[in-house]
Structure 1
Amino acid sequence: MSIVVCNRFDSNEIDTMTEVHNLQNLLVRIAAGDTVAYDQLFRKYYASMVLYADRMLKSKSESEDLVVDLFCSLWNKRSQLYEVKSEQGYIFTLLRNKVIDLLRYKKRFQQEELMDFVSEESIEETIFEVELYVQLREAIENLPKKCAEVLRLKMEGLDDHEIAKRLGIQYETVRSHTKRGVVLLREKFDKTFLLLFF
């Protein structure tokens, strides 16, 4: 049940080692009780983790609650972060396990389907997917303001009519901003990946 995605980051590819180091640094600071580091981690990963969880749970509110609960647990048990051996895998393993636990609790999947998800979805795939969502959200923030507003709302699951109503603009204007934003995003992301959202 994993998503196969191709992204285009040839010469602009994010330095993975820097990202891992930044995450390690944030977790060490959080373990020491640094609320600024906690806030930075939350702002960087919250929305992308909700997207990942929602792909499995099919409920935005449950996904939001699950990710907030994950971050609360992370803060409440921050002293244990000193013992973490794989900082990069830790936070994403927590996310994946919370999703699986909720699916088991709700029995939304048949047992076979849940086992397929557990066996097929490796932690590396979870990390890759969440990081890709983070990169997409960051790229959207760098678009022209109106395009960014529209695409942010589309990622939240609103349709074009709902976006037009919320922003007080015409339906055709929403379509125009979407098209322009997607064209700009195609410079960095594969068309197939973008079709998942827009």
Structure 2
Amino acid sequence: MERMDDNPSTTKYTLANPHLPGEAYDQITDMQLWELFKAGDKKAFDSIYDRLFQPLCGYGDKICAEKALVEDVIQDLFISLWTRREHLGGTDSIKFYLFRCLRRMLIRRVQQEEKRGNAYSFTSGISFQLELSAKATSTTISDIEEERKKVLNQALHKLTDRQREAIYLKFYNNLSFQEVAEVMEIGVRSVYNLVGRTIDILRADFKKTNPDAELASLPMLLTLLSACLEYA
């Protein structure tokens, strides 16, 4: 790997020597990391695995309650990535790329298992489980009384599976509307509609319990959602 520019903010890399010092893998863009991985850099592959294994488990566990099956599919995903790396396309968001792959693989695997008579906590439309985290570390959230968290949790249970999945991908994993649409295999307009209806439901529930509540405002509600959604 050769540096083309000594300025870290503008450093460019070539594949002349596809290896970097360990800490450097955290300092390059997703696009650069992905290209190194595709070129056969094992450390780049390890970096992707270490960075995204837990987020993938968190997403997969919300689709299927069978944790062992989820982890098995994730392992299959990474094996497939490594063996097919030279034939993969590019990406500037590895999390988005892997979330999309995992969802497809997991749905296909669960459907195959169900045909064999193995029943899992899953429906054809996706049964997306979502709860508030018991460990809210954000200072914004730690100051919110339990009653308000309870209201939000109750509101989340009123949402459809697709609404819960959309807000999880959008607000907790910071995917764009376009990326959410591609992961869920629906149109972008549908994602806007899902998120819009979700926000309306959540705001309405907060206003019922306290019409003057600061959390009924959109910015505070989105902050609460981002900080409180359970990670895994």
Q: TM-score, normalised by structure 1?
A: 0.48
Of structures 1 and 2, the larger Rg is shown by: 2
Larger fraction in helix: 1
